[in-house]
Structure 1
Amino acid sequence: MIEPAYPAKPSPGDRVAIVSPAAGLPELYPLPYELGLRRLTEDFGLVPVEYPTTRKMGTSPQERAADLHAAFADPEIKAVIASIGGSDQITVIPHLDAELIRANPKPFFGYSDNTNLLDFLWRQGIVGFHGGGVMTQYGRPGAMDPMSESSIRAALFTSGPYELTEPARITEVNRDWADPATFDAEPATEPATGWSWHRADRVVEGRSWGGCLDIVAWLMMADRIAPPETYEGCVLFLETSEELMSADEVYFTLRCMGERGLLRRFPALLMGRAMAWSFQKPLGPAERERHRAEQRAAVLRALAEYAPDTMAVFDVDLGHTEPQQIVPYGGVVRVDGPARRVTVHY
């Protein structure tokens, strides 16, 4: 296994690739996409470059792989940013030219279905960045969330330590991207409940691996992950998507990681605050809290059975959360239990 290395960062004025390796959803929802591009240009000083499949639904895995090859191979492109996630990026990975991408390492930003590509980059020795989607974080109605923006700026432009912090308020209920009125104001927020710690009696520092648990399950089923010993001493980070995995599904997936001899390799786990609302499952406040509590219990059950010494931090704002803080995929993460601090290295 190649030790992941951080690729060079872009600077304001640089060209960055905007790609849709999971799904061309900008075609269906142009409002958050165009807003995200505008903020990348006006607020971040970058020059977005689109590719043939960026805003086109129904493209083939080979076509999306070709866009990634073009983005990584172009010396004028200094970073690659996903427009959004999707559901079939796993079919793109076999078409990627690993040698080409290893020879042209660049920061890649994305999450959700982009866990597939982040894991691929990890296996090529390239640190990626879990988070920072064009339509979701840059294209947030009204304004970017300040905590999300701060983390994205640090991950995009700087190197070194960055402390993840607990937000005062969070957003759980979204509005229709097809309605222009959605973008007239920021989404409603509600008080955050904070993080909770399990076995916080030590300090763990290691390379990170994980991502969206829905996709990690697929990676195991497709036999895309490395041998379990590869992850020894790494910091695991996981989160769940708008599919709202049930507590049973969470437990069963972690159980499979345990049976594979994988779960116990991680001395620390960062568990993202569970997404608990979607348009398909518009849960009320009490139901949302119940959903999160049941997921936490499922994780603790799996840890008790397969990784009893692993330290865990629950409800961290990463992945499908708002605000969202960037986690370097393959980068260094320090989890300080006694001090109740989590520091990532961008």
Structure 2
Amino acid sequence: MRPFKSVPKARRGDRVAVISPAFAAPAISPAIHEQALRRLSESTGLIPVEYPTTRQLGASAEARAADIEAAFADPGIRAVMATIGGDDQVTVIPHIDPSIIAANPKPFLGYSDNTNLHNLLWNLGVPSFYGGSTQIHLGAGPGVDDIHLRSLRAALLEGGSIELTQTSESEDFGIPWEDPRALTSFGNREATEAWEWAGPRKAVTARTWGGCIEVIDEIAMAGRMPPLADLEGVILLLESSEELPSALAVKRWLRSLGERGLLQAAAGVLVARPPVSELSAPVPSAGERAALRHEQRDAILGQMALYNPQAVVCVGVPFGHTRPQWIIPHGGSITLDGTSRTVIADYAG
């Protein structure tokens, strides 16, 4: 596996870049964005800094790449955070000068479409953190969820190891941003289910790689996947988006990764609790939602059983497109313990 750089943590009073490398959600709801910046400052002591495209809808790929470069190049910026994901970050990556990022490594936080940027960082040997959306997880609702705040501080400031734990309840989406209640109320939360484990009863500790399954598909088609040799022994991170891909689509993506050799290379797989309802459609019943989650779980476990039954697999962890959300290492280290049924994340730089 390729060597990874050491990335120093920020300190209270340092500046952190808040950028929109995919979709400029702050342009849709400035009030939520501004509440997010206040909460970020109050909870971490860091000073958020915006860039030209942070609130600019329809910014070009070149302009967003320039903001990414500027944030990493500025020695006064100690970390970089995405406001949200999006749809077209795959078009931004070719406009980034990788030498700027490699020469100025610093923590990057984001998920969903930001899988593209995480993959670029991985290929440069720069660890990052998968998760965090200022617009969703900091700005919306009555406050910041405990597990999100704990992992946010660990990623940005404190480091250390944390056992990832289950949450008692979860939501797929919050209140629409145009509704004033979005500033003070969570969305509809429901009780969560126990995590599912598969594979041998052993512990594996390894660096992580992965992200949103749909975006990994784009990365592969664009020819930007890491060499398979670099992925040997990783813990693969997998989650699906709010577009709610079917279990059949997930099966096909996993099967393709198996045919590529990636599933066989992985020492373990960490799978997120998937969203199964969407803001713009009627919410399925509780039974239907549970069935949709089980179908995706079975699709993933089925492909792992075919391609790598010796991998330790944990399904249902609250990261990715869910809230509350753990921010987890990408390119950093996670331990999956199939004996004790625990997941330990290392937030060291």
Tell me if TM exceeds 0.5: yes
Instruction: Sort the TM-score into its range (normalised by shorter chain).
Output: over 0.9
- Equivalent position of 2:197 in the other structure: 197
- Structure 2: which amino acid aligns with 1:30? P
- Structure 1: which amino acid aligns with 2:231? Y
Distance 1:60 1:173, change over 3 A: closer
- CA distance, structure 2, for counterparts of residue 241 and residue 137 of structure 1: 16
SS in 2 for 1:214: helix
SS in 2 for 1:43: helix
In the alignment, structure 1 residue 169 sits paired with structure 2 residue 169: yes
In the alignment, is the contact (CA less than 8 A) between 1:6 and 1:331 conserved in 2? Answer: no
Q: In the TM superposition, what whole-angstrom CA distance separates every residue of 1:198-227 from its partner, at most 9, and x where no partner exists?
A: 124111111100011111111111111022
State the 1:296 CA deviation: 0.6
State the 1:169 CA deviation: 1.9
SS in 1 for 2:305: helix
- Structure 2: which amino acid aligns with 1:263? L
- Equivalent position of 2:131 in the other structure: 131
Q: In the TM superposition, what whole-angstrom CA distance separates every residue of 1:25-49 from its partner, at most 9, and x where no partner exists?
A: 2111223211111101223221111
State the 1:84 CA deviation: 0.6
Structure 1 window deviating more from structure 2 (192-201 vs 324-333): it is 192-201
- Structure 1: which amino acid aligns with 2:272? G
SS in 2 for 1:277: coil
Q: How many aligned positions are there?
A: 346
In the alignment, is the contact (CA less than 8 A) between 2:199 and 2:309 conserved in 1? Answer: no
Q: In the TM superposition, what whole-angstrom CA distance separates every residue of 1:96-140 from its partner, at most 9, and x where no partner exists?
A: 111111111110000000010011001111101101111011113
Root-mean-square deviation over aligned CA pairs: 1.3
In the alignment, structure 1 residue 284 sits paired with structure 2 residue 291: no
- Equivalent position of 1:75 in the other structure: 75
- Structure 2: which amino acid aligns with 1:112? S
In the alignment, is the contact (CA less than 8 A) between 2:251 and 2:300 conserved in 1? Answer: yes
Stretches of structure 1 lacking an aligned partner (at least 5 in a row): none
- Structure 2: which amino acid aligns with 1:245? P
- Structure 2: which amino acid aligns with 1:161? S
In the alignment, is the contact (CA less than 8 A) between 1:108 and 1:129 conserved in 2? Answer: yes
In the alignment, is the contact (CA less than 8 A) between 1:142 and 1:187 conserved in 2? Answer: no
- Equivalent position of 2:312 in the other structure: 311
Structure 1 window deviating more from structure 2 (118-127 vs 146-155): it is 146-155
- CA distance, structure 1, for counterparts of residue 164 and residue 6 of structure 2: 19
- TM (norm. structure 2) is 0.96
- Equivalent position of 1:302 in the other structure: 303
- CA distance, structure 2, for counterparts of residue 186 and residue 226 of structure 1: 38
In the alignment, is the contact (CA less than 8 A) between 1:20 and 1:55 conserved in 2? Answer: yes
- TM (norm. structure 1) is 0.97
Query: Percent identity over the alignment?
Result: 44
- CA distance, structure 2, for counterparts of residue 275 and residue 92 of structure 1: 26
Stretches of structure 2 lacking an aligned partner (at least 5 in a row): none
- Equivalent position of 1:50 in the other structure: 50
SS in 1 for 2:44: coil
SS in 2 for 1:87: coil
In the alignment, structure 1 residue 63 sits paired with structure 2 residue 63: yes
